[in-house]
Amino acid sequence: MIKFNLYKEGGLKVHFIKKNEDINSEFKKFLESKKFDGQFNEILYLPIIEGDSHVFIGLGDDEIDLEDIRNIFFKLGNTLRKNEEHEVEIKMPEFNICNRKTIMAAYEGLRHGEYEFTKKTDVKHKKEDFELTVNYSAFKGPEEKLREGLNKMENIMDGVFLARNLVNERANVIYPESLANIAVEKLENLGVNVCVYEEDEIEKIGMKAFLKVAAGATNRPRLIVMEYKNSDAEKIALVGKGLTYDSGGYNIKSPSGMNYMHCDMGGAGTVIGTMYALAKNKAKVNVVGVIAACENMISGTSYKSGDVIDSMKGLTIEVANTDAEGRITLADAVHYATNDLGAEKIIDLATLTGAVTIALGEVYTGAVTNDEDFYREVLEAAKLSGEKIWAFPYDEDFKKLNNSEVADIKNTSGRDAGSVTAGLFVGEFVKENTPWVHLDIAATAYRNKAKGYLPKNATGIHVKTLNNLLDPIDC
């Protein structure tokens, strides 16, 4: 647990030092002996037996931004935990950036160090509870605004951790029904209206494509609709891919590929985490979250390669590959959000393609959009959040790759431009003239290894971005 006191002193002293700065203090010889020269994120701990200990943090020689602050404080938090230091005094230098956003980034970095997901029963393999008191003095800024920023960031990080936990949890625990129950449990008491539709109701709605993907599973599908209205502003839809497990269907995945397919509901996790944070912050927004939750399994009732299936929009879909199932569920979900629910803008998030990993690695989320202005808003929110997005081209020549000889559209065109054509497939089902941004988070929602403050496995990607987009905070 982290407690922030503002404009108070006491505890371990933190010193921020620029690269090759002339250090004229009692610690100069110590730092020289340790060859500490202020490289960015270089950290050195100096314990004092009597009195307060000290930590020296290098700032490098470039201008510091919010992402730097997140990484600095993540590393500081780990150092404090390792050395069992429970109180720290931080006097922030001038970084020429917003002081409220600075304290939010500092809190975020410390908070990331608390996260752990494990099923191990031996306490030796678990992080111990760690209480930390931070006595924080900003370079400038009224205490009330700083406290408001801290409270907002605390709720956003709760949303990030909720998303991570949902995506990390295994498919024997998270399946369509249980995911829907968690959405109700977490959101309804915060003022979010959660409607859960079972199979007969989904059929009445007309989501024929979604139900075909779900046809082979024992765990039956759920449509989860979460509406949070605290404003008369335009309604924005967040649609998350909700494949709680994906075997690949009859285009079955390899054994190694199936080991982590519990994470194929990463988009759903982000949407639930985002709705949770927005509601906790009492954001003045009008947002609806939609998740078509199901499993893609193999049985005698499963859909098959070569099938031609119907969709809610009325377009027929050639199933060229049963492992390109997420876009089929999204087809009905985005159509429902924009046509039946009346969303005026829409963002879908999906662990959609392996191709995005080839193109952008685990560094960038791939994007496809039909509206450059709306995309730029999303991009700016992502930059503020330290979550990178890269837009693929929206081009009619790519659209043509999805043409089918037997149906209106096919669900995959093969290897060429796989992330682009997948996104464009989803876009075909968005109501005409509705601004739309598609985010392919296949490589960024679930990482193969940790990097900086991002853990291995689930990251909770774009909970921050969506909160900064929908509920921005000024300085």
Any binding-site annotation on 323? Answer: yes
- Give the CA angle between residues 87, 34, 37 to the nearest 5°: 85
Task: Please indicate whether residue 376 is annotated as part of the active site.
Answer: no
Q: Are 375 and 268 in contact (CB under 8 A)?
A: no
- Cα 339 versus chain centre, distance: 26
Task: Please state whether beta strands 87-91 and 222-229 pair in parallel, antiparallel, or not at all (unpaired).
Answer: unpaired
Catalytic residue among 19, 229, 253, 388: 253
The residue written with tokens 């230091």 in the block is 85
Residue 30, pLDDT score: 85
- Are 2-139 and 156-470 equal in CATH topology? no
Which residues are CB-contacts of 326 (< 8 A; sequence separation ≥ 6)?
A: 241, 243, 246, 264, 350, 351, 352
Backbone angles phi, psi at 446, to 5 degrees: -145, 105
Per the listing, tokens 């979250």 go with: 289
Dihedral sign from CA coordinates of 390, 395, 397, 401: positive
133 within 8 A of 94, measured Cβ to Cβ: no
Q: Alpha-carbon distance 368 to 421, whole Å?
A: 9
What residues pair up with 240 in beta bridges, in sequence order? 291, 349
| pLDDT for 179 | 98
DSSP H or E segment with residue 100: helix 99-112
Encoded tokens for 127: 């992080």
Say what the pLDDT of residue 123 is: 66
Phi, psi of 118, rounded to the nearest 5 degrees: -150, 150
Say how far apart CA 469 and CA 268 lie, in whole Å.
18
pLDDT at 74: 98
Pairwise CA distance, residues 325 & 315, whole Å: 16
Q: What is the pLDDT along the chain (475 residues), one digit of tens a residue?
A: 999 999 999 999 999 999 888 776 778 888 888 888 889 999 999 998 778 899 999 999 999 999 999 999 999 999 999 999 999 999 999 999 999 999 999 999 999 999 999 888 876 667 778 899 999 999 887 899 999 999 999 999 999 999 999 999 999 999 999 999 999 999 999 999 999 999 999 999 999 999 999 999 999 999 999 999 999 999 999 999 999 999 999 999 999 889 999 999 999 999 999 999 999 999 999 999 999 999 999 999 999 999 999 999 999 999 999 999 999 999 999 999 999 999 999 999 999 999 999 999 999 999 999 999 999 999 999 999 999 999 999 999 999 999 999 999 999 998 899 999 999 999 999 999 999 999 999 999 999 999 999 999 999 999 999 999 999 998 8
Distance CA 171, CA 258 (A): 11
DSSP string computed for 35-47: T----TT-EEEE-
**Domain coordinates in residue numbering, the chain:** 2-139, 156-470
The reply, when asked if residue 52 is annotated as ligand binding, is no
Residue for token pair 């400038």: 140
Q: Is 241 annotated as a binding residue?
A: yes
**The dihedral formed by the CA atoms of 274, 420, 321 and 410, expressed in degrees to the nearest 10:** 110
Q: Which fold has domain 2-139?
A: Leucine Aminopeptidase, subunit E; domain 1 (3.40.220)
- Give the distance from CA 183 to its chain's centroid: 16
Question: Please, what CATH class does the domain formed by 156-470 belong to?
Answer: alpha beta
Whole-angstrom Cα distance, residue 335 to residue 237?
11
| Number of neighbours of residue 447 by Cβ within 10 angstroms | 16
At 289, phi and psi to the nearest 5? -105, 135
Is 253 an annotated catalytic residue?
Answer: yes
DSSP of 191-204, one letter per residue? T-EEEEE-HHHHHH
Task: Say which of 327, 345, 410, 464 is annotated catalytic.
Answer: 327
Between CA 16 and CA 43 the distance in angstroms is: 10
Would you state the pLDDT for residue 191?
97
Cα 5 to the center of its chain, rounded Å: 29
Q: Give the residue from 326, 332, 329, 175 showing the smallest Cα distance to 245.
A: 175
Q: Is 235 annotated among the ligand-binding residues?
A: no
Pinpoint the alpha helices (H) of 305-459. 326-335, 355-360, 372-385, 396-399, 418-427
CB atoms within 10 A of CB 1: 9
Cα distance from N-terminal residue to C-terminal residue, the chain: 26
264 is in an annotated binding site: yes
- The β-bridge partners of 225 are 195, 290
Would you state the structure tokens that stand for residue 195, as one six-digit string?
């409607």
Main-chain phi, psi angles of 248, to 5 degrees: 95, -10
Pairing of strands 446-447, 365-369: unpaired
